[in-house]
Structure 1
Amino acid sequence: MSCRDDNSGGHSSTSAAGKDKASDKQKEKARVSRTSLILWHAHQNDAAAVRKLLEEDQSLVHARDYDSRTPLHVASLHGWIDVAKCLIEFGADVNAQDRWKNTPLADAEGAKKHSMIELLKSYGGLSYGQNGSHFEPKPVPPPLPNKCDWEIDPSELDFSNSSIIGKGSFGEILKACWRGTPVAVKRILPSLSDDRLVIQDFRHEVNLLVKLRHPNIVQFLGAVTDKKPLMLITEYLRGGDLHQYLKEKGSLSPSTAITFAMDIARGMAYLHNEPNVIIHRDLKPRNVLLVNTGADHLKVGDFGLSKLIKVQNSHDVYKMTGETGSYRYMAPEVFKHRKYDKKVDVFSFAMILYEMLEGDPPLSNYEPYEAAKYVAEGQRPMFRAKGYITELKELTEQCWAADMNHRPSFLEILKRLEKIKEILPPDHHWNIFTA
């Protein structure tokens, strides 16, 4: 009898410990999610949403991302006065320092947000840092000393029959003509051509592109860095982007999807080659371009958010800014502001492969932010199309594994895609008539 009592007591304490552990996990998940939310709403200038979160949990005013940046840093950089006032009202530390020792005031000064500078100073804000976060203490040098090789005189660009082929927050992409050849020109808005942040990002992208040479990477041709507006010139690809192609075509046959996937994987394997690894960080259908309307060749483009990392060790992991890139294709570790490495691109690749096979974007019934949140909670898109080749489904699942160490490299992905292509009957179609 006493033995049974001892056992039951042991079970209940084990069960209680298990419940506590599960409860702790839930709390941690909720905390990470709320941290992401308040930083996102601060970035989006949504003062009402920031206030609502702080009313529910005032400690979120001290939330920090992996670069140790608070919601007030984010609001100060963008000049969002109402958000900043709300954060200060809830006790934000106006002199909080990020990993580069920058205060919110240092960010506001670097971004020339004059009203924000006055506001922060009125609350005792001090200016430290400016030693390498978003700003550099001296003018940004040209990317390369021998830039005459690729510096283009704007008078050589003919915009008489130009058309807009893309738009972004910093400018637009136009189809134009350079020395008789159709080209794509990324043109920075004149109003932003003096913005240090924008100039830095622009020169960073030029610096990356100038080093890249690969059949599956959009080819850099030159740039205008001496005159305004700043412009980046690449080859023009007549086929448009993969996003538009999938919108028109819907799901692709497995053989086409595999051919496309191999082109993307080749470009990415080149970028991920050590020791100079380039992490794309925004791999999505809009940034994959079709060489021509025959859609027989793809190239990876848009390196605006890419990071060039010098790898000392093949297992290096980096602390980089969280929530970089497009939510629908974002790896969970990025959304959660965790440490991450080049395997974030493998996750995005899995989402693109899924979209090519299904014909719809992953989690298309969710808004992008909600989709990223759902994925960060451990969920994945459902395989709906019938006739999935087992090997292709397994590869997709491994590429979007929650643990980035379990995701294959692009070189491994290529080998596996080649094997799948070999076993694929040439006339294979989805088995839509079988249950």
Structure 2
Amino acid sequence: MDLRSDTIERSDFEYQEMLGEGGCGVVYRATFKTKYKDHKEAAAKVLTHLRREEIDILRRLRHDNVVNMLGFYADGPTKVIFFEYTPYGSLYQYLSQDELTPLPNELRRRWAKEAALAIQYLHNKKILHRDVKSSNCLLFYGIPGTLKLCDFGLAKDVDHSQTTSTQQGTYRFWAPEVIRTDDRDHAVFSKYTDVWAYGMLVFEICSRKLPFVDKEWQTVINYVGKGELFPTIPADCPEELSYIMKRCWRTNPKERPSINRIVTDLHNASEFTEQWRMVNTFKPQDKNGRKLKANRVACCSNGDIVVADNFEHHHRYIVTKEGMYKMALTPPRPYQINYIGSIAINADGYIALTDWTTPFATIFSRDGKFVNRFQAASSTDNNLTGIAVDKDGNLIVHDSQRTVTQYSCPDGRQLNQIQVDGNTQELPRIATNSHHQLLFYDDSTSTGITKVIAVNNEGKEVFNISPQIGERATGKTYRGMEVGLCGLVTGGENDEIFIAMKVCIPNIDKYSGRIGRPNTGHVHRYSCTGEFQQCIIRGLHSPHDLAMTSDGSLIVANDDGILKYSVEPALVVSKTMWKPKASPDRTGKDRVA
């Protein structure tokens, strides 16, 4: 096994304060002398016993709700693993700060789902966590933040005296079959013991208390092992979370739901927690009041929308959020813009346009004045196909030879250049996210299926998405219907990915023969690592492009004009969610006084 790509030298980091100590090692905050994989600091876990197979497992784990490994350092018997660092502490610390104030139900549901997704990811990788609890869940990106599970695969089974001596003893989360095992070092851990502990974690989230906090450890060990003691579920707990806890706490492990089923039930229960509704629609107009079509859109921070019409008039213009004309984007002679490929706007308000027919990018100010024009393709023989803006306001430009170049804006000074793997389409969209990844359309598969690929800053693929409408995969033809991608943006609270798709339905004309007409479309939402979350918009009439406003609303350009969709929270418990059978010994009440 080659660890060189993840190896960190001792001279590259410094230990800072100790963050915690457990049965498997000590954790320090460490700082890097120079940025390592875009991180200035990390959580350094110092271990004395660690197999290389465990390192290999950690290197392959990448998920939104798992604390990811950054690197590895070895010095004789001492091994140090570097993980993502958060200054916001653990879920246990947050819950114990104010035990009397219940969490909002939306937050309870979100954290329960994030924890379930993390465990599902580990189980799908054939990894048992064995120590699921709130102190092994860290909060990232603020308070309250995103929940990430840590210490996966490294938790070691400790003896009875060690675990019961602390307030956060793991015994509170042990399943009955683990308690009934005399030898803790050879206890039978399984996916269903993780599920039991997950139910206890959900109880922590709903009650802000440890399970059995008012019971002596001997009572817990004796009665939980017999299946006669369960936590008291709070009366204000969301119905679906109460159901899940009761199912997780079934004494017979074979009767507990799998984590896949739990994730499905959480999704079914909360698939309507965000309803995207159309809040505005208009047809953009030119200065004479003539209605124009739009097949490229981008959003300014002040609410204005930049629109390009490549169908009839080849206009580029800025309109208000109500669709009223403000100004045209016209370069001075002899410069020309023939066919807009992509539009990008940075935080300073500079508007960058690419022309599919030239290797040049054109920059305008937010008030429509021409600023600059420069060659952005890797050579004069290449055309530009996509443009985006990174979080620092620089331009990311993609050309027809799969070369991606970073330029400062607005002066067009080249900063970096990489070659992208694969065979990206000639006319792709391009987007960036906060993980320094680039997303493109790609049709490199032998099946012809169009997918979205994410690459790192070296151009190597990190993950890919193969969107589909029903059973129809993009890039394929089904009974004459062609499914294709037409819009790609990233954003939202968790840096999600939004993909617009359209279906071209053939129309038979007795005079001209068969005519393909883009007829309908959908918008899907994916997590920042490519997992499908929800179809948020359906039934679009021939969509062409997708953009996001500064407040997180979506702008869709289609044959009906410009449509604006905003999200409205509205919880609806799905009827398809399972209902546990009534059982007198599964009331969620303590069986022991």
User: TM-score w.r.t. structure 2 length?
Assistant: 0.40
Q: 1:291 aligns with which of 124, 140, 160?
A: 140
CA gap of 1:267–1:170, structure 2 versus 1, over 3 A, is closer
Deviation string for 1:182-240 (max 9, x for gaps)? 1000123xxxx4xxxx244xx45423211211111111011112446421111102221
Match of 1:230 among 76, 79, 82: 79
What residue in structure 2 maps to residue 335 of structure 1? 179
CA contact (8 A) 1:205 1:303 kept: no
Opposite residue 183 of structure 1, the aligned amino acid is A
Pick aligned residue for 1:183 from 18, 32, 42: 42
Compute the displacement of 1:356 (Å). Answer: 1.0
In structure 2, what is the Cα distance between the partners aligned to 1:253 and 1:372?
32
Check 1:326–1:176 CA distance in 2 against 1; reply closer, same or farther (3 A cut).
same
CA contact (8 A) 1:255 1:421 kept: no
The answer to whether the 8 Å contact 1:175/1:182 transfers is: yes
Name the amino acid aligned to 1:184: A
**Cα drift, residue 148 of structure 1:** 0.9
Greater share of helix residues, 1 or 2?
Answer: 1
Change (3 A) 1:374 1:205: farther
Structure 1 pair 199–419 and aligned structure 2 pair: CA distance change class (3 A) = closer
Matched, 1:256 2:112: no
Spell out, residue by residue over 1:123-154, the C-alpha distance to the aligned partner (whole angstroms, 9 max, x if none): xxxxxxxxxxxxxxxxxxxxxx2111112111
Larger Rg: 2
Q: Counterpart amino acid of 1:334?
A: V
Matching residue of 1:66: none
**Separation of aligned partners in 2, 1:233 and 1:410:** 28
Question: Where does residue 255 of structure 2 map in the other structure?
Answer: 406
Q: Deviations over 1:231-252 (max 9, x none)?
A: 1111102221111011014332
Deviation track 1:282-338 (CA, whole Å, cap 9, x = no partner) reads 11111111113332311111135459xxxxxxxxxxxx9997981111111111126
What is the identity, as a one-letter code, of the residue corresponding to 1:167? E
Report what 2:170 is aligned to: 326
Contact 1:288/1:300 (8 A) holds in 2: yes
Matched, 1:361 2:220: no
Aligned with 2:127: secondary structure? Answer: strand
User: Aligned letter for 1:148?
Assistant: R
Whether the aligned pair in 1 keeps the contact of 2:128 and 2:153 (CA below 8 Å) is: no
1:355-394 deviations in Å (ceiling 9; x for gaps): 1111211110124454243211213334352233333212
Change (3 A) 1:154 1:228: farther
Structure 1 residue 427 displacement after superposition: 8.8
Q: Is the contact between residue 238 and residue 292 of structure 1 (CA under 8 Å) also seen in structure 2? A: no
Q: Quick one: which of 95, 116, 119 aligns to 1:268?
A: 119
Match of 1:186, SS?
Answer: strand
Aligned partner of 2:70 in structure 1 is: 221
Instruction: Report the CA distance shift for 1:370/1:164 in structure 2 as closer, same or farther (over 3 A).
Output: farther
**Structure 1 residues not aligned, in runs of 5+:** 1-144, 308-319, 429-435
TM-score, structure 1 as length reference: 0.54
Partner of 1:154: 10
Aligned counterpart, 2:550: none
Q: Secondary structure at the match of 2:20?
A: strand
Compared CA separation, residues 399 and 150, structure 1 to 2 (3 A): same
Q: For 2:121 and 2:200, how far apart are their aligned partners in 1? A: 20
State the Cα distance separating 1:349 from its structure 2 match: 0.5
Name 2:60's counterpart in structure 1: 211
Indicate if the aligned counterparts of 2:202 and 2:241 stay in contact, CA closer than 8 A: no
Residues 374-389 of structure 1 aligned to structure 2 (within 5 Å): 374-383=223-232, 385-389=234-238
Distance apart, 1:345 and its partner CA: 0.5
Question: Does the CA contact (< 8 Å) of 1:282 and 1:305 recur in 2?
Answer: no
Q: Deviations over 1:158-204 (max 9, x none)?
A: 23xx111111245321111123411000123xxxx4xxxx244xx45
Tell me which of 167, 171, 181 is aligned to 2:25: 171
Per the alignment, do residues 290 and 385 of structure 1 end up closer, same or farther by CA in structure 2, a change over 3 Å counting?
Answer: same
